[in-house]
Amino acid sequence: MALETQLRVVGKETAAPAVRFALTAVFTHMHSGPSGRRRGGKELVRLLKVARGTAAEVGEWRVVRLLQDALDYAEGRILRPDLDELYRVYRDGARKVRNRDFVASSLRAGHEWMVAVSEAYLRDHPGASAQDVLTHFKAQSADTGFLRAPDDRPGRYVIPRGMSEISLWLERLLRSDRIEIEDPVSEARRLATSPEALALLAADQDGRLILQAAELQRRTAGLRALRAVVDDTTATEAELQRALQGNHWIFGGQYVGEAARRRLVPGDEVDIPLIRADGALHIVELKRSMGLKRPLIRRHRNAWVPADAVHEAVGQAVNYLVGLDENRARIRAEFGIETRRACALVLVGHPALHADVPEEEVAETLRTFNAHVTRLEVLTYKELLDNAERSLAVGVGPA
């Protein structure tokens, strides 16, 4: 209704038939809603822009300005009280007493709160200077952004003391290189206003627990996403690689990160190059999980043995290790990576591929194989995920 009243004013200001025709189209749209309700939306904004452009074409620049105000209101850039104040002159000429009283009461409440806070501080700190009071008041003002409405106290509101300082502290911690957070400001505010986060902060003065909690949440989300890809029968090696990248903790706490380069030897590109704490390289060779088309193990006489799919993957990993050994001096000189003690992990398949074989039989077959080879280990994706789940249950180690 406020917008329509303003547009009626615009209609009185224009003398151009084309502008009036454009305004008629605006009114027609506004009154086309069901049950007599006015319509807005993108079409209203489009029609207002047409009317503004028409007024500009005929040189009615005062009308252009009025239509720009209408557009700003329709798109939320001007609020209802402001629109009422701007165009009161075109109605009864009087300012709305309700708006004036609302502003006055808000200012009065703010000043009363400021006085109450200052008086309480001076009672506790009788020797405080004016600067001390101002500093305290600024801290209180920052805490108002964390206003709460307790469920058990209807109609009452609480401003937590020191919450803005805690939020700033969390933001600085989350911005550090100890943990990767996409939006540290919003994450710090979320953690600071969370009862669980406050309990953690109270339990640990140095903040280690809150960092561990955030890292645990990140790792849990990454593990959940990886499990979904592992269980997908259509997932490719490239999709598995994307799910694993950035989550080197899944492979164990002895790794400090991933190497920036995957092609260290001409003609060879490893899937995931991990760096151990001693600086040595550990490569991960990825094959399909539930999408593997061949068996992991096969029956040989009276025992289970690794099948061709495992041997081929192992052979590929061995070739990578041979190449790394042969190019050790160049790799160390160019990239600063030690490959003399390089090892390899082959991730292949899933026990669920053998529905007729107990899962433990599959795992035991691969463990027996691993016991007889050096610098190389074969795991199923399920065993990797189970190991990672157990590490999360114990607690978060190095990020």
Task: Report pLDDT for 349.
Answer: 92
Tokens of 207: 């903040």
**What is the Cα gyration radius of the chain?**
34
The answer to whether the beta carbons of residues 244 and 273 sit under 8 Å apart is no
- Provide the edge-to-edge strand list for the sheet that holds 376-379: 255-258, 272-276, 280-286, 338-347, 376-379
- Contact of 88 with 95, CB cutoff 8 Å: yes
Cβ neighbours around 375 below 10 Å, total: 13
Alpha helices in 144-271 (DSSP H): 163-175, 184-192, 195-203, 208-230, 237-244
The per-residue pLDDT for 290 is 93
- Kindly state the tokens that stand for 246: 């950035």
In this prediction, residue 140 carries a pLDDT of: 63
State the DSSP H helix or E strand holding residue 135, giving kind and residue range, or none if neither. Answer: helix 130-143
Question: In the chain, which ranges are E strands?
Answer: 255-258, 272-276, 280-286, 297-300, 303-306, 338-347, 376-379
Segment-wise mean pLDDT, segments of 10 residues, the chain, 399 residues: 82 88 89 81 88 88 85 78 61 54 69 77 83 73 58 58 50 49 55 56 51 68 88 92 86 80 84 85 92 91 91 92 90 85 92 90 92 92 90 60
The per-residue pLDDT for 101 is: 66
User: Mapping DSSP to helix (H, G, I), strand (E, B) and coil, where does residue 339 land?
Assistant: strand
Taking each helix axis as running N to C, give the angle between helix 2-13 and helix 61-74, from 0 to 180 degrees, rounded to the nearest 10.
170
Query: What is the reported pTM?
Result: 0.49
Contacts of 206 (CB under 8 A, 6+ apart): none
Q: What are residue 296's phi and psi, to 5 degrees?
A: -80, -40
Structure tokens at 260: 């920036």
Residues 6+ away with beta carbon under 8 Å from 199: none
Length of the chain: 399
pLDDT of residue 178: 46
The C-alpha atoms of residue 328 and residue 325 are separated, in whole angstroms, by: 5
Please report, for residues 346, 357, 397, the alpha-carbon distance to residue 227 in angstroms, rounded to integers and kept in the order given: 17, 22, 21
Which residues have a Cβ under 8 Å from the Cβ of 130 and sit 6 or more positions away? none
* pLDDT at position 34: 81
